[in-house]
Structure 1
């Protein structure tokens, strides 16, 4: 938690207010003002006559200055206002804080480049930049090395993505007790759009990155830090030279924000063999374009699927329903109506027979039930046949039983039929979540061997249900 005292105002306003900004551990912020901003929506009915209904306007952006730092608060909501008209005090919460620039709106194209750090990225990259070799010589010498690792760069749709390693070098520190040498190697993704983009565009890219690492690791991967290079350089002139030339210096913006999942960068890293896949299985420059295409094609299914990883623990029935929706949406987006027992011609023939043989309400009810396209169970069965069969068999020993029970459980949750929610709800939820991961791996082009290893080493195994 960090507190910053400064002056704060709305973009374009002439008046500013003193206040304290508190940066919270979850990335969000709280701004406490002395005085405040009049947010009332006042309607002027006639000359000298106004009306106030109690409605207030939004404050999507607030600006501030703390010493020499320019600060932008994004998505601000007033949670407490004391006093009418000109408030005596006011409290705002903000979703995102930009330290280093004044940004007018979320849509303003201010991002020229971004440096993004995500949980488990360094371990996933299996980067050969740090090594230590104890040498059993007479002197019992121990050595360590930090090597330069070439960037892995790929261009997708004009955007450049680089898996880069930032080396901090060795640091020598002494205390009254000991002397310590430490070295640092941190992986990051450098995102460079073809032209300056908005905060919303960058946030969408960060979501694609965190989802990718979540899929690779099988556990939530959060944003550790994000630094933005502003699209407009700052002009600077050496004060020692009266008529010296003006130089342009890039502006660096530190961006923090409240997200659905808060990263824990100090926790121990995942072991390489606990990943579903790593850069050794497919280098970043090869797998990243495939991931962007797949993620953007299946955006709705992906949002629900990865949201389940990021969200706090909740009822198993809710998680079961969410992953069932994910599987259905994923099949529909990737495979359309493949796997359906009724095509358009068969459905048309069936409807004609119903029209000839039935009448009244019975006919209308029956006609409403006869539709072309895949049923939920057919979509599940088809989806289970997509990845490597041996990998699927490890997580779902009996596909037919799984599909039937998942359909019953989903309908039970949706329609309040508690008796149809099987006691094996957690098993069905886990099996379906792992199957979706295997489908993603298959669609990304990972071999059957990688799929089987992921299922064998990183997913829960089940024996066939009765």
Structure 2
């Protein structure tokens, strides 16, 4: 691909000069290095003043405890503008009083870097677009520029064949004033001649281009990119790492080239630590582990729905995806996360049904409070609430997706609701779960997570047939169903 983006899983180095935005006439030479393991580190030959000082009287300087941080550091390296954002000194070596005078040395860490633009911070609206590549986006897009052909004579493969390239039309949709485009970009044919043979290759990359109605900031680009990342994570049921992110710099006027052609768009590469780091060379996901692609839910339909669902159910989706991005090692943590996600999902869906009519509940509460000493009434008043119980919420969630899929997932909804409620209550109220073995707790977590997933897929408009296929064929949900039949069935009943 021309103008290859900077992959987040690859190291980089930029030698140049660096300065504070309000002190551009005092540049310091140094080297910026990036690696996935160590992050972003700027090594200076010289030092910015990071000591916190005051001058209470002429000739008297007082050094205070602590160290100064910098929101932004600018630089120029490898013929590019560079902005370091969220900077703090990690080490400084000053040579004051040494026998041989030599430059100070300072090491500065940064939270993120823009290679290709100077900005005043992550909230500076300096960009007119963003492009993001996420793991398994190519597979999820369900399209490719490549077509293969194998030649056959009399029904037998004869060794002939071809690989052809046909551009894929851009798919576009407008979401809350921002345009999202699903695009492909491919390289020209390349023949790599080796001593033992020749390899011909081309490379096709699917990515999402984000074009806001008006220029947005780096933080705005991160938010739009996370919308795409989280969608792919939900669709693939695993952490979807960011492979690269780059921004298009907004320019008031683009000067044409001498031959009259428009100048290429000026881009800025973003280096940062996303919630999951992607690898462009890792093997693609097994198709059996994908809940849906653009073939079953077209891009133009699913993205607006996901924007709405994610906005309405932000807490629930974050908790669910958290189990994918940073899975806890202890089942108790997963239990609280899964059940908590189910509760906030139920609230977010706005399907609460009050157990009692408002007037009846008020009369009952007032009658109960009459029996409570006046000094404790306010406390009891806050405890007595007309809200559905956790078990009520679990029943309501199990009733929303396709019921055949729910029946395949677990044969005994009553038992699941009962044991999930008991486990959560025991853990939160007693600090332990003495009435559940480890295997049953794992079953509770997995089934509850699956119910949340089916609810989200239902909200996205996934068909009942596809929901059934997922429970029957997805390796993890199929294993979850087996576990439910073993551990979440009432004693004496036949699963």
Distance, in Å, in 2 between the alignment partners of 1:410 and 1:6 is 56
For residue 133 of structure 1, what is the aligned residue in structure 2?
149
Matches within 5 A, 1:92-107: 92-107=108-123
Q: Is the 8 A contact 1:146 1:183 kept in 2?
A: no
For residue 407 of structure 1, what is the aligned residue in structure 2?
421
Distance, in Å, in 1 between the alignment partners of 2:374 and 2:161 is 89
Choose which of 173, 193, 201 in structure 2 pairs with 1:154: 173
Distance, in Å, in 1 between the alignment partners of 2:350 and 2:127 is 36
Structure 1 residue 372: deviation in Å? 1.4
The Cα offsets for residues 60-103 of structure 1, whole Å up to 9 and x where unpaired, read as 22222223122112222322233499992222222222111111
Q: SS in structure 2 opposite 1:351?
A: helix
Structure 1 residue 26: deviation in Å? 5.1
For residue 311 of structure 1, what is the aligned residue in structure 2?
326
Distance, in Å, in 2 between the alignment partners of 1:84 and 1:438 is 63
Q: Is the 8 A contact 2:54 2:61 kept in 1?
A: yes
Q: Is the 8 A contact 1:63 1:71 kept in 2?
A: yes
For residue 489 of structure 2, what is the aligned residue in structure 1?
465
Structure 1 residue 50: deviation in Å? 4.9
Q: Is the 8 A contact 2:241 2:277 kept in 1?
A: yes
For residue 31 of structure 2, what is the aligned residue in structure 1?
20
Distance, in Å, in 1 between the alignment partners of 2:122 and 2:462 is 37
Q: Is the 8 A contact 1:354 1:366 kept in 2?
A: no
Distance, in Å, in 1 between the alignment partners of 2:84 and 2:70 is 10
For residue 83 of structure 2, what is the aligned residue in structure 1?
72
Distance verdict in 2 for CA 1:247–1:274, change over 3 Å: closer
Unaligned 5+ residue runs, structure 1? none
Choose which of 40, 55, 71 in structure 2 pairs with 1:60: 71
Verify: 1:427 aligned to 2:443, yes or no: yes
Verify: 1:334 aligned to 2:344, yes or no: no
Structure 1 residue 269: deviation in Å? 1.2
Q: Is the 8 A contact 1:71 1:99 kept in 2?
A: yes
Verify: 1:289 aligned to 2:300, yes or no: no
Q: Is the 8 A contact 1:30 1:94 kept in 2?
A: yes
The Cα offsets for residues 40-73 of structure 1, whole Å up to 9 and x where unpaired, read as 3334445555544313333122222223122112
Unaligned 5+ residue runs, structure 2? 1-10, 97-101, 491-495
Distance, in Å, in 1 between the alignment partners of 2:319 and 2:466 is 25
Deviation larger for 157-166 or 30-39: 30-39
Distance verdict in 2 for CA 1:108–1:362, change over 3 Å: closer
For residue 142 of structure 1, what is the aligned residue in structure 2?
161
Q: Is the 8 A contact 2:52 2:68 kept in 1?
A: yes
Distance, in Å, in 2 between the alignment partners of 1:416 and 1:54 is 44
Matches within 5 A, 1:55-454: 55-83=66-94, 88-137=104-153, 140-232=159-251, 249-311=264-326, 313-338=328-353, 340-359=354-373, 367-415=381-429, 417-420=431-434, 422=436, 423=438, 424-454=440-470
Distance verdict in 2 for CA 1:38–1:7, change over 3 Å: same
Q: Is the 8 A contact 1:401 1:465 kept in 2?
A: yes
Distance verdict in 2 for CA 1:344–1:56, change over 3 Å: farther
Structure 1 residue 249: deviation in Å? 4.6
Q: SS in structure 2 opposite 1:209?
A: helix
Choose which of 17, 20, 45 in structure 2 pairs with 1:10: 20
Distance, in Å, in 1 between the alignment partners of 2:149 and 2:262 is 46
Q: Is the 8 A contact 1:234 1:250 kept in 2?
A: no
Structure 1 residue 262: deviation in Å? 1.4
Q: SS in structure 2 opposite 1:419?
A: coil
TM-score by length of 1: 0.90
Distance, in Å, in 2 between the alignment partners of 1:5 and 1:392 is 58
Distance, in Å, in 1 between the alignment partners of 2:235 and 2:401 is 16
Distance, in Å, in 2 between the alignment partners of 1:166 and 1:262 is 22
Distance verdict in 2 for CA 1:165–1:350, change over 3 Å: same
Q: SS in structure 2 opposite 1:346?
A: helix
Distance, in Å, in 2 between the alignment partners of 1:250 and 1:162 is 17
Distance, in Å, in 1 between the alignment partners of 2:187 and 2:360 is 66
Q: Is the 8 A contact 2:180 2:208 kept in 1?
A: yes
Structure 1 residue 111: deviation in Å? 1.6
Distance, in Å, in 2 between the alignment partners of 1:237 and 1:126 is 37
Structure 1 residue 443: deviation in Å? 0.8
Distance, in Å, in 2 between the alignment partners of 1:253 and 1:226 is 9
Distance, in Å, in 1 between the alignment partners of 2:446 and 2:432 is 20
Distance, in Å, in 2 between the alignment partners of 1:42 and 1:18 is 24
Distance verdict in 2 for CA 1:414–1:453, change over 3 Å: same
Distance, in Å, in 2 between the alignment partners of 1:237 and 1:214 is 41
Structure 1 residue 212: deviation in Å? 0.3
